[in-house]
Structure 1
Amino acid sequence: MKQSSLSMFAEDILKDYGSFMEEHDSKLQTLRQQMPDNAGGSQLLTSLTPAIEINYLDDTHNDFLNWHNTRLTESELLANKPLTTLANLCNQCNDLTQTAQQLQLQFVTTSTRLETRAGNGGREQTLYQMSAAIDFFCQIYFLLKRIIVVLQNIWMQLTAYVSNTVNIHEAHLFHVFDAMAELLEQLVVFNELTEQSSLSAKWPLYKKWLQTLLGKSSSSTFEVQGVQSSLDDIDSVISGNIFQMLLVSLLDTKKQMNLKDASVNYITQHSNAYVRQLLTTAIEATQANEWRNYEEPKQLLRLTSFICVLHKLGILLDGKLIKSVLETLSRYQRVPLQRNVFWSPHTFIGRHAKTLLKTQDKAVDCLKQYNASAEKLTSNDLKTCRQLGTQIALWSINMQRCFAAGPINQLKTFAKLILLGQSYGEQVNSLIDGLIRRHLTLALPITKSALFTIYKLLQYLQMLQKIFASNQIVCMRYVSSVLQWQTQKIQHLLLLTKRNILDLKLMQRKMSILTTLKLSERSLKGYPPTRRRLTIVNLALSEFLGKERLLPTDKQKLFKSISMRANNLSRYQQNILGQFDSTQLINNYDSLSISDTALKEYVQQQQNPFLLQNIFAASNKLDKNLALFKVDREAQDESVRSQRIFDWEREFLSNHLEFLLRVEALSHLLLSQDQPFTQQTIDYRLCINVAAIENDGVYNILRDNLENYFTATFYNLTTIAPHDWKSYEKMRHLANKLLQLRPVDDYLPNQIIDQGIDVLQIMRNIHTFASSYAYNMNLQLFVEMQSRNKHLDIIGTRHVANSVQTHGTGIINTTVNFIYQFLRQKFYTFSTFLHDEHIKSRLLKEFRYHADHKHVKPYQSYPYERAESFIKKIRKLGVSQNGETYMDLFRKVITQVGNAVGYVRLLQSGSKNANYRSRSFMSRFNSNFSRCDEKNLEETTQSSIREYEKSVEHLKECYSDNTNYFKLLMQGFQPFLCNPHNHHLKTFFLITPALMMNYIDYRVKEKLKMYKKDQMRCSLFEDGFAIGLIYILNMLNQLSEFHELGWSQTTAQQLQAERLKLKDIMATSESTQKGSPHKANVDEKLLQTVAITERHVNAYEQEYNLLYATLSSAEIFFQ
């Protein structure tokens, strides 16, 4: 008892905490929505910042440079200045490259959003969106101008460096060229993005529109000129002239360089060597995969842009080299840069360095060969994916062993494993990028197998990050030790180099190298060796490696290897955490949104909970990164795929596990299998234990979702089929036993004998109920018309009240909704019958006759003969297999509609009965609990009182007389049925006389069956016809036209005429009998015929009177 009380107390605390968090999140979300959208704000990826990071209290890199500049001689300062300047420029190139990549992705999403809005909202919406994006366009312009300025400064510094009076001839410029080529790559991508974007076509219209507005406004000339200048600047960006702007600016730089012959030769030599290196790298990439440059075109972009820049600067390129470069580049056409952006190196060179191309040079189209080998490459990717999976699994095992043993004892292994993990992450990203670029190049749809491979690779990325994330503290603790170890090795090699210089007594000749070595030592003394410091070290070390043989070849290789390790280890967190921040990966992920069906199938195939968790986590991270570039909230909501993946998995597991429970519950009915192991059963039970899944800051627990689903399912099934409650109780027990799920008990009462037919069972079979039960409006009950049992089922108010008490108050509204759906089907049949040409033409004929004669004085009511003639004509159209005419079938439709409406009335009466029963639990007095706050009662008591008052108000609301379901049913169908386009329904009131005649004939025949034996189907009453007829006439607003027909007067006159006819026959017979007394036998037969006819007329009169009384009562329901 004590334990249960504690558990209840804990549950209450958790519930209060959950409500507090929900309220806090809602308030936070409201504040976010109230903040203005900054469409042009710089959106940078925030996940680059790790959760655990060591920050050292050192100065900025500029202060560091001032610190290590101290205690240097004049020659050392002279050697230090160009190196530090180039290092700063290289760092700026790296920063600008990262910013440009992210702005490229934001530009693509902005362009896509504008194109979508243009299709939906027209020209005005497009102009408005472009105005909102002006700030973003200005950011792009400022970024590109900054890139151009940095590139100009690099060339100026290089020329000043090589023209220095100090003898510094050993400078190796490849590191600078690498940073510059990487920045040129982003510039070319931006150039193609802007040129091929739809914005370039919309910009002239926007510019003209804005100029028109400026002309109409009262702006000053200075303001107009400023806006015009800004528009021209943005125009140069959007029109795709970015690279051309760079080349023009380099012409001005060329005039300021003032190069000497030696300087020109020096730069030409190193430029040709660097171009040769880029060409060799591009060719080597095609050895394993001939089409690798299509899938990873960065080498082509760097090579093409670099030779265009060299050509514009007038740097002479070797003839054979440029021929080889052009031959290599001409093999690549339609190189994919982004989703719908393709680039051709040959065309690019022809535009920006036309003199390099000869007239006979033509581009070679190799896409056919590429397309032919695409299938083989895809199979190789699948094989590589499997190998990567195995390697990453072994790597994760080794990492866990290393963490368990303590990395401080095996720093060498730990360093290798970290670098190996980084390389695996780069391979996975490269494989994803290449797979998607291949499909873009060849314009092939992404197949199911390719999509499965991509998401398998995303799982590998998440697995790599999870290993580091779960051991962040250990990694951060020992990576510093590994870095110190690597820097100590570099310092040792630097010391050996200095000793060699001193031993060789080459102090004066090698002064520049010695100064560079001192600079490297001082740079490595600061901790941590950040990327900016290591850039200086790389430039400094490249001064002497490979030139003067100051170190043996093996030592030089070791030097380069250690330097590379230190570079990678210094930013291992950014390399690992930034795998999902790759702009190319984010862009590819956004372009995969069309493959939701295949992705759904892939997710449903994952039986391992860890794989599921990796899919959810990877999608969530990419959704977060992608949301940074989707400024529009609607675009953000559409792009969230992690929630859709979770919903797919939850729906699949719910259905699959429910089927499993049903099979287990019915397993005693199945025959035992001779070979049970031949049946392949997929077990997804392990997926229940998947950890909590984050989605936009909200955590979803799959186990809780499944428990809630089974709780609701078992409750609903038990309420629908109370007689089968044991089966669902067994399924609940199996869910706890087999799946370790704990669905909440439904606490429903079991079915009893006096329950009658349940309301939900009738609701489920409302179509059968309306056709097989007869309704009595006065007694308010339904009686079965035909049954194989000895007794007929009866449904009354008491049975409905029992069902309402069992299922609760919500069953009334649900049942009315089901009846509404049933009436929709019947009204479709009703409209189809009246729309038939045979029926419509005859009704139009009757309408014209009635319109012509209703104002004529002798015409008092609708003629009986015309209704009788109408029925005869309908009979000629044919009969069914049961001998029923179309009029009989139409009457049945009207009757079923009336039965459904009568059932709604029975539900309302039964709910009032249940309300009366529930009233016994309430106080007899009009209790007012408003003073409970003054009594200082316990919070639990006050909450109970509030819940009681809510229940009472709910009873009043559900069962009050103000809830008129008839009015609701009329309001649901009246707008459609009274639509002016439904002309065929306007003549419905003219078919009512024929319908009533058909109904009276049917009722008379049914009552005659009561006196006969072996009649399988008969009914004593059927008031559904009258209710249905009045219900339809009210909805069609034809009740007054129906009364104008005066059909009751017509039938009374017809019956009176029948009686007068019988009297005339009797009078004629009496007169004849007086004249000839020998005809007694004939008179006796005549009297029997007259008696039968008179009984027949009386029966018709009684049925007509009952019908008119029922019609009058039914009209009251719809007033």
Structure 2
Amino acid sequence: MRSQAPQSIRSSNPFSSDDDISDDEEKQQDYIQTTKPYEEHFEKFSQQFNNYIQKTKDLDQKYQIPLGDTPFNILHLNVNQQVQKQGLFDVNQTDNPFYDKVSATFTYLDTEIGKITEVFESKILNVISMYGERALDDFQDEEEFPLLDGQAEFEISKLSPIFKQSLDLIKKIMGILHNLINQLNIIYYKKNDLHKNIFKNVELNSVFQTIGKGLSVVYVLDCAINQNKKIRDHWNVYKRMIKIIQTEPSKFGSDPKTVKRFEKNIARLDKTVLSGACVQAVLEQNYDANKSFTSDQLKQQNLCLLAKNKDLIELFENYFKQQVVFYNDILDTTSEVQERKDLLYFLCTYAFFRKVFPEEQDKKIYKSLWTLQKKSPVLEGHTHIFCYVYKFLRYVCPLSKSTTLDPKEPEQFTKLYVQDLDIQIPKKINTFYEDFCYWISRMESILTSNTALATGDKSKRDRSIKIVEEYTSYRVRLLIKALQMASQIKQMITTNLMLHINEGIGFTPQLIKYVVKGIVMLKAIESVYISKIEAFQPHMLLKTLVKQLLLILGATYEKLTKADYKQKKPLYNEFRAAIQNVIKNLRGPITSLKISTMEFALNFIISNYITEKKEGQDIKFIFWKIKTVSQFQYNISKATNCSFLFWCKDILPLAIKQFFENPSQSKRLIYLSQAISDTLPIVKATLHLQNPLYMYETFKEEVITTFKDEYLTPLTRQIEDFLRIQIHAMLIDKVVGKNPFKDEMNNIKKLLELEQIQFFDVIIDIKKEIQNQLNEKFYNLNVLNMHDMETYEQMRVLAKFYFDVNLINVYIPSQTIEQGQLDILQILRNIPTFVDTYTYNLHNQTFTQITTESKLVQTIGIQQISDSIRTHGLGILNTTVNSIFKYVAKKIEILSNLLYDELILQNLIREEKWFQENKMQIDGYYPYERAKKLSSTLKRLGVSKEGNTYLDQFRIFITQIGNALGFIRLLRSASLNYCSKSIEFLPYQIDSEDSFLELAKQAMSGQATTKAAKELDDILLQLKSYFSSGTDYLKRIVSTMSKYAQSESQNHFTNFHILVPCLTLNYVTHALICKDKIPIKNNVNAFLCNDGFIIGIAYILKLYNLEEKFHLIHWQEEVRKVYKEELESIKEISQADTTQISTHRLQQMQLENGLSIKKLESNLYEYNMFFNTFQACKILFREDPV
């Protein structure tokens, strides 16, 4: 057994040797033997884990969504987001308590700044950046189309928590900065023992960067506020609203104390976060903790005023000089990664120095910083927020005295920089593409595969280890190269795009071409890394880097220990503690907290006091590689993140069109879709809209629509044209077919190679979309010309042969269900639109569309609804009736509120009172002239935005109610039609008491037959019940609504009958106008018949028991009598003696009388139609059966 365990271990280790086993290995074998139970459990777990991985891969292969060549990463590990279980003091444990305390202090402050920065970048800045953005369908210019009342206040109020959170974080930053600068003031005071013994030999440059990092987020916040004009505008409106509330707090459900406290908070936000000058306010604070001490107290405690600390000033100035040299050397080189981001930190550190030490104005340093904008005039703050170097230096930390600066006019220089960048971008992108191709070929080489580590020389262990180190070092170089390329490409693209937007310079197609090429390279770098992530695991690569750094640090530590021993006093105590700290933290997982701790320790280690310059540079470079590799997945995702595309979405149509015009590059469109999907976190950060996800949904729809318009639809058109030409070439001699072996055919095939593409959470299958479009088009065209069926069949075969596109057979059978243009479900979903745009005919039960600009008018009748019921089943009847009942009830309520208006109600009460008082004198006939006078009175009460009077609104609402009731009647007639057709072939025994179920039981039939018989009985019973005339939905609606109508809240309807004459006059006038439009060209809003209004009048009179009251005013007889008298009077005038009248005047009188008679007869005809139809409508609501 002892010989088997070592053999299994050796077989699994490619670097072990079968010939040479040392004593240590023998001891290890003994140890393995004694821990055999643990090994067995491990083997079981290993086997289970491998089985799980294999099953996962099998499932992935079986069910994966093919998205071109882009890999699909199942297990995604983000090193930067791993849970840190170690505390701050766990990573700061050496044999020097003083160093541990100092290191823990500065590390804690640095990590707090990092957390605050993360909150700003991941949440606050996204929300502020998105404020004011509108979805595509409700986009409007607020200057031309102002927002609705209260909308601006509502939207800006939703950002109040964000503003408050920003203010709290800024206060926290101020506290950290106060702590940092006072800590530095103490340790860098020459009379302090700490400075004499330790810190005079140490430059804490990492602390300066922490200061700049904290201030940079405040400045970026200022830029975000200043660049978003809508925030300031809406905030001013919001403040005015608060002042209005302050005058009458109780009216808004508040009290003066609460409003006053709220106003104070608003004022605080207005002076800080919303001022757009937070960074100046932060810098103007008093950061000197010793300012309150007297000179004697300062001497006693060995303290110094911050502004007079010359040693600290010298430290800052040395740091600035070093960094200026560094940025001049690194910017615009192939080694640049995130130095432009760090440059913003550096500028903020300089601004902090200038405010803390106001008397220190070194013009050389200022000029050096000013000159840096020649290489980078703008610095990325966050996505589309870019900070101008000259604006920062000019407004945040200007010199008190003017001096000569280069460039003199930075605004003009920036425009020239953009023009020069436009010229250089093709060359630079092509250079990057060459580097990218070389890099990707190296990534695909054997040196980056897992099998490469198993090809080492097994003869000697040292040789094997050396091979592993060479491989890992090579992979580290590839990762760093990827990060450098991605950072430089993104920096160039974003700088170019944002400068064009900010400076108001348009995009040229040539520029967009190279910008898209750069974006494709960014996402390709990320995809290649993900596909090779197994060979680039950070923990594996870090081992070699850690080993290199430990070798140097070990030698340095040993040298310091010997020096202390020789001097017999601890000169290098803190320096050795720093090395101990780094060595300890390197032996374990590299986390963000450990990196922050080790960065502070490096300030001691790379000091010229203990290391040579070259040695310090080597340590710093190796540690930078360790930091980069440990956070590589986070860094590469950030470097390849293309969320800035949301602010450049105008280029998306041209970008997608570019791939369509270059079929050989169509597969690269996948990378553009991934870049567009990077905007997801920003789009979902929209808070000001009522529905936060509305922006995301509309933007996603906009992107998909753009893709279809610029890629799918043109591709479908190309395929259709190709198929048509090929078919017509066989039928028509003069038409020359296209050569399937030429470029056009190949281009279509290359465009179809992009099988699927994903935008956000939507996956588009290219061929399926093309099939759907062609199927729809071929079907619609075949409907118009059914004799072309064979042609389309041939095109379908060619589509399958050439492009593997499966189209359906477009053969249309001659007998189909005709539902018309409107289906019952479509009407049900749009009841308000239907009753408003269609008119009802009572006698033939049809709905006719009111004329529009279209040349066609749609109609729907019993047959169409019957066929629709046949499609959906009888179960849809109750659902439809219930929906219409709710609609009618809602309209009745609106009508009730309109009638309850005091102006209308008082006129009706006065008119009813007059009629009752004068009933005997007028023989119970309500005068026609009184009706006209009342109509004129109601017309003068006001006009709506659409130009409708109160009577027009009554007519419209009543017509909508009547049309809805007419549709219920049509629905019942259609259901009876459907049922009659369904049972016309049933035998007459259907009405007998025998059932198929009883017959099946008597025949001793099987279970399946018995079940079928029962279901047949149920179907026949249902048909009989629906066919019976007992279901009258109109009467049900009357009975259901009668309880509501007879309630005390509806007493104002008691005088509605006196309003009917006015409504009749309004209806007849409107009907004649619409009928006169019919012969006219472009006759919009014309109709022949509108019985819906009459049904609505009859329904309301029946519902409120006003039929008898309306009958007693004898309105029908009064109208006929008035028109009869007018006709007779005109005829008498025509028959009078005309001998004294001239011939011309006589002809004119005859013409006028003829027109008057024609007009009166047409009016009387319309009134007769109304009254006859009204009598017919009353039958519909009669309680006794007819």
Structure 2 counterparts to residues 331-342 of structure 1, below 5 A:
none
| Candidates 534, 541, 565, aligned match of 1:482 | 541
1:725 aligns to what?
A: 789
- Deviation of residue 733 (structure 1)? 1.9
1:614 aligns to what?
A: 671
Which 5+ residue runs of structure 1 have no aligned equivalent? 1-20, 22-46, 762-777, 779-799, 811-908, 964-977, 996-1027, 1050-1110
Higher mean alpha-carbon deviation, 653-662 vs 532-541, is at 653-662
CA-to-partner distance for each residue in 1:138-162, whole Å, 9 max, x for gaps?
Answer: 1111111111111111112222333
1:556 aligns to what?
A: 616
1:852 aligns to what?
A: none
Q: Tell me the distance in 1 between the aligned counterparts of 2:452 and 2:1013.
A: 58
In structure 2, do the counterparts of structure 1 residues 367 and 54 end up closer, same or farther at CA, with 3 Å as the change threshold?
A: closer
Question: TM-score, structure 1 length as denominator?
Answer: 0.60
Q: Tell me the distance in 2 between the aligned counterparts of 1:222 and 1:49.
A: 56
CA-to-partner distance for each residue in 1:751-773, whole Å, 9 max, x for gaps?
Answer: 79xx9xx9999xxxxxxxxxxxx
- Deviation of residue 94 (structure 1)? 2.3
1:309 has 2:352 as partner:
yes
In structure 2, do the counterparts of structure 1 residues 530 and 1043 end up closer, same or farther at CA, with 3 Å as the change threshold?
A: farther
Q: Tell me the distance in 1 between the aligned counterparts of 2:83 and 2:342.
A: 39
1:855 aligns to what?
A: none
In structure 2, do the counterparts of structure 1 residues 915 and 635 end up closer, same or farther at CA, with 3 Å as the change threshold?
A: same
Structure 2 counterparts to residues 467-616 of structure 1, below 5 A:
467-476=528-537, 479-504=538-563, 508=569, 510-512=571-573, 514-545=575-606, 547-548=608-609, 550-551=611-612, 553=614, 555-579=615-639, 585-586=642-643, 588-602=644-658, 604-605=660-661, 607=663, 608-616=665-673
Question: Residue 749 of structure 2 aligns to which amino acid in structure 1?
Answer: R
- Deviation of residue 657 (structure 1)? 3.3
Higher mean alpha-carbon deviation, 399-408 vs 479-488, is at 399-408
SS at 1:356's partner residue? Answer: coil
| Candidates 262, 269, 273, aligned match of 2:318 | 273
1:233 has 2:268 as partner:
yes
- Contact 1:487–1:566 (CA<8 Å) still a contact in 2? yes
- Contact 1:250–1:312 (CA<8 Å) still a contact in 2? no
Structure 2 counterparts to residues 680-1079 of structure 1, below 5 A:
683-690=747-754, 692-746=756-810, 748-749=812-813, 925=990, 986=1072
SS at 2:449's partner residue? Answer: helix
- Contact 1:272–1:317 (CA<8 Å) still a contact in 2? no
CA-to-partner distance for each residue in 1:1073-1102, whole Å, 9 max, x for gaps?
Answer: xxxxxxxxxxxxxxxxxxxxxxxxxxxxxx
CA-to-partner distance for each residue in 1:372-428, whole Å, 9 max, x for gaps?
Answer: 453341132222223323333332332233443536452222222222222222122
- Contact 1:513–1:544 (CA<8 Å) still a contact in 2? no
In structure 2, do the counterparts of structure 1 residues 447 and 405 end up closer, same or farther at CA, with 3 Å as the change threshold?
A: same
Q: Tell me the distance in 2 between the aligned counterparts of 1:949 and 1:485.
A: 80
In structure 2, do the counterparts of structure 1 residues 930 and 512 end up closer, same or farther at CA, with 3 Å as the change threshold?
A: farther
Structure 2 counterparts to residues 105-184 of structure 1, below 5 A:
105-109=125-129, 111-112=131-132, 120-122=146-148, 124-163=150-189, 165-166=193-194, 167-168=197-198, 169-184=200-215
SS at 1:250's partner residue? Answer: coil
In structure 2, do the counterparts of structure 1 residues 913 and 982 end up closer, same or farther at CA, with 3 Å as the change threshold?
A: closer
- Contact 2:242–2:263 (CA<8 Å) still a contact in 1? no
Higher mean alpha-carbon deviation, 264-273 vs 638-647, is at 638-647
2:282 aligns to what?
A: 246
1:415 aligns to what?
A: 476
CA-to-partner distance for each residue in 1:704-728, whole Å, 9 max, x for gaps?
Answer: 3333334434433333322111122
Q: Tell me the distance in 1 between the aligned counterparts of 2:437 and 2:444.
A: 11
SS at 2:445's partner residue? Answer: helix
Q: Tell me the distance in 1 between the aligned counterparts of 2:1008 and 2:323.
A: 81
1:860 aligns to what?
A: none
2:496 aligns to what?
A: 435
1:385 aligns to what?
A: 429
In structure 2, do the counterparts of structure 1 residues 222 and 487 end up closer, same or farther at CA, with 3 Å as the change threshold?
A: farther
CA-to-partner distance for each residue in 1:443-486, whole Å, 9 max, x for gaps?
Answer: 2133333334333333222222222333444433xx21211221
Structure 2 counterparts to residues 1085-1100 of structure 1, below 5 A:
none
- Contact 1:193–1:341 (CA<8 Å) still a contact in 2? yes
- Deviation of residue 570 (structure 1)? 0.8
1:191 has 2:226 as partner:
no
Which 5+ residue runs of structure 2 have no aligned equivalent? 1-62, 64-72, 135-139, 293-297, 454-467, 730-734, 822-843, 845-862, 874-972, 1034-1063, 1080-1085, 1096-1116, 1128-1168, 1178-1186
Q: Tell me the distance in 1 between the aligned counterparts of 2:108 and 2:193.
A: 22
Q: Tell me the distance in 2 between the aligned counterparts of 1:579 and 1:336.
A: 12
Higher mean alpha-carbon deviation, 511-520 vs 231-240, is at 511-520
1:894 aligns to what?
A: none
Higher mean alpha-carbon deviation, 295-304 vs 226-235, is at 295-304
CA-to-partner distance for each residue in 1:1047-1073, whole Å, 9 max, x for gaps?
Answer: xx9xxxxxxxxxxxxxxxxxxxxxxxx
SS at 1:683's partner residue? Answer: helix
- Deviation of residue 741 (structure 1)? 2.8
Q: Tell me the distance in 1 between the aligned counterparts of 2:208 and 2:390.
A: 22
In structure 2, do the counterparts of structure 1 residues 541 and 239 end up closer, same or farther at CA, with 3 Å as the change threshold?
A: closer
SS at 1:65's partner residue? Answer: coil
1:768 aligns to what?
A: none
2:945 aligns to what?
A: none
Q: Tell me the distance in 1 between the aligned counterparts of 2:612 and 2:562.
A: 13
Question: Residue 273 of structure 2 aligns to which amino acid in structure 1?
Answer: V
Question: Residue 565 of structure 1 aligns to which amino acid in structure 2?
Answer: K
CA-to-partner distance for each residue in 1:207-234, whole Å, 9 max, x for gaps?
Answer: 5345446587897887566535433432
1:1009 aligns to what?
A: none
Greater relative CO, 1 or 2 (CA 8 Å, sep 6+)? 2
Q: Tell me the distance in 1 between the aligned counterparts of 2:84 and 2:1091.
A: 89
Q: Tell me the distance in 2 between the aligned counterparts of 1:936 and 1:237.
A: 82
CA-to-partner distance for each residue in 1:323-374, whole Å, 9 max, x for gaps?
Answer: 5247548989998968998866666556555663339989932433543453
- Contact 1:459–1:614 (CA<8 Å) still a contact in 2? yes
Structure 2 counterparts to residues 94-113 of structure 1, below 5 A:
94-109=114-129, 111-112=131-132
- Deviation of residue 539 (structure 1)? 2.2
Question: Residue 112 of structure 1 aligns to which amino acid in structure 2?
Answer: G
1:79 has 2:140 as partner:
no
- Contact 2:203–2:607 (CA<8 Å) still a contact in 1? no
RMSD between aligned residues: 6.2
In structure 2, do the counterparts of structure 1 residues 322 and 577 end up closer, same or farther at CA, with 3 Å as the change threshold?
A: closer
Question: Residue 592 of structure 1 aligns to which amino acid in structure 2?
Answer: C
In structure 2, do the counterparts of structure 1 residues 990 and 482 end up closer, same or farther at CA, with 3 Å as the change threshold?
A: closer
1:444 has 2:472 as partner:
no
| Candidates 687, 704, 710, aligned match of 1:646 | 704
Question: Residue 185 of structure 1 aligns to which amino acid in structure 2?
Answer: S
- Contact 2:725–2:738 (CA<8 Å) still a contact in 1? no
- Contact 1:465–1:576 (CA<8 Å) still a contact in 2? yes
Q: Tell me the distance in 2 between the aligned counterparts of 1:308 and 1:551.
A: 32
SS at 2:621's partner residue? Answer: helix
Question: Residue 414 of structure 1 aligns to which amino acid in structure 2?
Answer: R
